[in-house]
Amino acid sequence: MISIIISSHNELNFKQIEANIDQTLGEDFEIIKIENQNQMGICAAYNLGATKAIYEYVCFCHEDILFHTQNWGKLLVDLFDKDKNIGLIGLAGSSYKPLIPSGWSFPASPLISMNVIQNDPNLISLPAHQQKINKNHPPTPAATIDGCFMATKTSLWKNNQFDEKTFDNYHCYDLDFSLSIGKTHQVVVANNILISHLSSGGFTEKWLAETYKLHKKWKNDLPRATENLSRKEKNNEELGAYQFLMLKTHQLKYRRLSLFNVLFKVKTLKALGWRNWAISLLKTIYYLPKNII
């Protein structure tokens, strides 16, 4: 009933999730492993895997996650069956995708939904259960979801294949896929499936470059919200996204000119509001090192 696509580059991780899925899924399934030692981007790997899928539902999974919820496959199918408008299900995401170049959100956003145990083997600290879900409203509508787990119908994938021409690396494929599916169907975060994520990911210069490509592609469709927000709430989301963008630009020593290119647009001014825009401009001018123009 469920085809699971995994782009694999770590045999130990793959064997671990393969056994975990067998023990927890609770439905008929197949795992389609795409060996990928940097031969292709994740979009190409997922498209290749999905062409081989035989079941109605298809999941795209990272190999560094583990499922804690028993019979999660049945829960997944039930969500699709109960609401035919649902087209994409994730386990972490945000109900607002900013106009400002960003991930599916920024870390401090109050609009995040997730139910994940973050367990990075490179960290000394104990696993952190990051739980921001609405138990009274399963599932939670989202503008974009995180790519560690994405489930859709095989028929929807055929009409919304991953954009391997634009995104030939390992970034932004999930946001792009969310925005594509979200044009015709609802994207949601399930609150009744719990996973562990065994790595923390990272923000690199390549991620930042790909993020700008994403926002160029979707410039006429952003921002996107799945709940009614006040103008102030939207302004604050955009400000949070810009502050995070500025921080990463500084840390990665990326071109400061890119920030001015973001700020000096009419849509950015409207999205931030005059006050937030002025604050952002002053910080960009005075607080970033001069050597990263």
What pLDDT digit, counting tens, does each position of 213-235 carry? 999 999 999 999 999 999 999 99
Closest Cα partner for 151 from 27, 41, 40, 244? 27
User: Each residue of 109-143: pLDDT tens digit?
Assistant: 999 998 888 776 555 454 565 666 665 567 999 99
CA distances from 174 to 117, 127, 181, 243 (A): 20, 24, 11, 22
Helices (H) and strands (E) in the chain, counts: 10, 15
The answer to whether the beta carbons of residues 129 and 229 sit under 8 Å apart is no
User: How is the chain split into domains, by residue range?
Assistant: 2-201, 228-293
Give residue 293's pLDDT. 45
Please, what's the b/e burial string for 236-266 (b: 16 or more CB within 10 A of its CB; e: otherwise)?
bbbbbbbbbbbebbeebebebebbeebbeee
Dihedral pair phi/psi, residue 105, rounded to 5°: -170, -165
Is residue 226 within 8 Å of residue 109, measured between CB atoms? no
Separation in Å, CA 144 to CA 25, 40, 71, 105: 24, 24, 25, 8
| Cα–Cα nearest to 30, from 66, 64, 60, 55 | 55
| pLDDT band per the 50, 70, 90 thresholds, residue 197 | confident
Question: What pLDDT was estimated at residue 137?
Answer: 62
76-103: average pLDDT: 96
Question: What is the chain's mean pLDDT, rounded?
Answer: 91
When mean pLDDT is compared across 171-185, 193-207, 217-231, 248-262, the lowest value belongs to: 193-207
Share above pLDDT 70 across residues of the chain, in percent, rounded to a whole number: 91
pLDDT confidence bin for 107, thresholds 50/70/90: confident
Report the CATH number of the 2-201 domain: 3.90.550.10
Angle, in degrees to the nearest 10, between helices 173-181 and 205-217: 20
In angstroms, the first-to-last Cα distance of the chain is: 52
Confidence of residue 291 (pLDDT cuts 50, 70, 90): very low
Strand 112-118 vs strand 195-197: parallel, antiparallel, or unpaired? parallel
The model's pTM: 0.92
- Tens digits of residue pLDDT in 21-51: 999 999 999 999 999 998 999 999 999 999 9
Residue 91 has pLDDT above 60, yes or no: yes
Which two structure tokens, joined as six digits, stand for 268? 């950015």
pLDDT, position 46: 98
Residues 75-88 have pLDDT tens digits of 999 999 999 999 99
Highest mean pLDDT among 36-40, 151-155, 196-200: 151-155
What is the C-alpha separation between 110 and 233, in angstroms, rounded?
10
